[in-house]
Copies of this chain bind each other. A is one copy, B any other.
Amino acid sequence: MGEENYTKGKQSIQFAQAPYIMSSASVVGKKEGEGPLGSKFDVVGEDDLFGADTWEEAESTMQKEACLLAMGKSHINQNQVRYLFGGDLLRQGIATSIGVESLEIPVFGLFGACSTSGEALALAAMSVAAGYGDSMMAVTSSHFASAEKEFRFPLSYANQRPLSAQWTVTGSGAFLVGKKRSHVRIAGITIGKIVDYGLKDSQNMGACMAPAACDTILCNLQDFNRSPDDYDRIVTGDLGYVGQSILFDLALGKEYDIRKNHMDCGMTIFDQESQDTHAGGSGCGCAATTLSAYILPKIERGEWKRVLFVPTGALMSTVSFNEGASVPGIAHAIILEHC
C-alpha cells in the first residue's frame, strides 16, 4: 500500500491505510437462535449437528458455511482470498483444519482460546495493510457440545454447573478483511500479553480472563492516548457477569472508569434468566458471531462511530488443569471505525 504504518506504544499498530471489513457472516446453533440476537444471525441450525455425524464435524461445517457466506456477500470466490487465519477451541484446532480444508486457501492456524477472533482479525488486517493481498479471511468457531466434551464432562453425564460457569456458544463468525471499501475499517490493533493472576478454577473463566482484558484495554488507551469516552463501546468477548465486575474493579483501581460504555458479547448473546446460561456465553464463536450479527451493523449504520473490540481468552487445557496449573488469560483489541 506504500504508506508507512505506525507502531504505537509497546503493543499497538495504527494502520496508515486502514483495511476494511468487506463482509462477514454468522452461523449459530438452535439456542443462540432463540436468544436476544436470534433474528440477526445469517444461519440458525435446527439441531446443532448441521448435517454432520459428530459435534466436531458440525463445528467444521459451521466454519466452512460462515466462510462461504462471507465470500458470497462480497461476491468473491475462494481463489480470490489470499490467506485464511482461523482457529477454534478444540485440541490441535481440528475444527478449523477439517472445516476450511476444502476451500483450498493457504492457512495460518491460530490458537488464542476465546481471543482467537481478535488474533485472526489482527493478522488479517496486518497482512492487508502490508500489501500482502487484497482479501484475507478471519474465521473462528466454538460448539457447546464439542467444548463440553473437550474441557468438561460428557453431555450425557449431566453434571451440575456452578453459577460462575459460562455456556459455550455454538457458532462461527467469518470476516473478509481487505482493500475494498465498506463502512467499517480496522483502524488499529493492540496485541495482548499473557496475564496470569494465579486463578485455577476452570469453571470461572470470566475471572481468569478479566485481568488480561483490563491489561489490553488500558494498554490500548495509553498507546493511542485516549480515554474510554473516545469509544462508543468497549466490547469484551466473553467475560460474562462475573468477569465484567472484576474488569470494572481492576480498571477503577487504575483510575479508568469503563462502566458506562462497556458491553460483553457473552452477556449479550443469551438471555441469562430465561435461557439458564448462568454467567453468560463464551467460546471462540461468541465474540465472532456477536460482532458479525450485532456490532458491525451498528457501526455500518453509523450508530456507533468507534468501537474497541476485545475478545478474551482463557489459556488452559484439561492436562494443565489436572496438573494444577493456573489459567492465564489473553486479550487482543481491534479498533473498528465507521467510515
- Give A contacts to B, CB under 8 Å: 2, 4-5, 7, 10-11, 13, 54, 56-57, 79, 82-83, 87, 89-94, 97-98, 100-101, 104-113, 119, 122-123, 126-127, 129-133, 149-150, 191-194, 196, 315-320, 323, 325, 328, 330
- Cβ of A11 and Cβ of B106 under 8 Å apart? yes
> What residues on B are CB-neighbors of A7 within 8 Å?
82, 131-133
Residue of B109, B126, B320 touching A132 (CB-CB under 8 A): B126
Q: Are A317 and B119 in contact (CB under 8 A)?
A: no
CB distance from A85 to the nearest CB of B (A): 10
**Closest CB of chain B to A253's CB: distance in Å?**
20
Partner of A192, one of B87, B106, B319: B106
Contacts of A127 in B (CB 8 A): 126
Contacts of A194 in B (CB 8 A): 97, 100-101, 104, 107
Q: Which residues of B lie under 8 Å from residue A109 when comparing CB positions?
A: 110-112, 119, 315, 330
A93 to B319, CA, bound (A): 11
Please determine whether A56 and B323 come into contact, CB atoms closer than 8 angstroms: yes
Q: Give the shortest distance, in Å, between A16 (CB) and chain B (any CB).
A: 10
Of the candidates B13, B54, B94, the one whose C-beta lies within 8 Å of that of A317 is B94
Contacting A5 at CB < 8 Å: which of B130, B316, B320?
B130
Given A5-B130, A131-B4, A196:B101 Cβ within 8 A: yes
Q: How far is the CA of A168 from the CA of B157 in the complex (A)?
A: 35
Closest to A12 in B: B106
- Min distance, Cβ A12 to any Cβ of chain B, angstroms: 9
Q: Tell me, rounded to whole Å, the shortest Cβ–Cβ distance linking A4 to chain B.
A: 6
Q: A110 is contacted by which of B108, B150, B323 (Cβ under 8 Å)?
A: B108
**Contact between B110 and A111 (Cβ–Cβ < 8 Å)?**
yes
Given the known inter-chain contacts A54-B323, A98-B325, A108-B112, please indicate yes or no for A315 contacting B130, CB distance below 8 A.
no
A82, B92: Cα distance in complex, Å: 26
| Nearest Cβ on chain B to A334's Cβ, whole angstroms | 14
- Please indicate the chain B residues that have their CB under 8 angstroms from the CB of A131 in the complex: 4-5, 7, 130
- Return the chain B residue nearest A11 by Cβ: B106
Residue of B107, B132, B191, B320 touching A106 (CB-CB under 8 A): B191
Known: A2-B4, A323-B54. A111 touches B132 (CB 8 A): no
**Pairwise interchain contact A107-B325, C-beta atoms closer than 8 A:** no
CA distance A128 to B93 in the complex (A): 27
Shortest C-beta distance, A30 to chain B (Å), equals: 22
Q: How far is the CA of A107 from the CA of B319 in the complex (A)?
A: 21
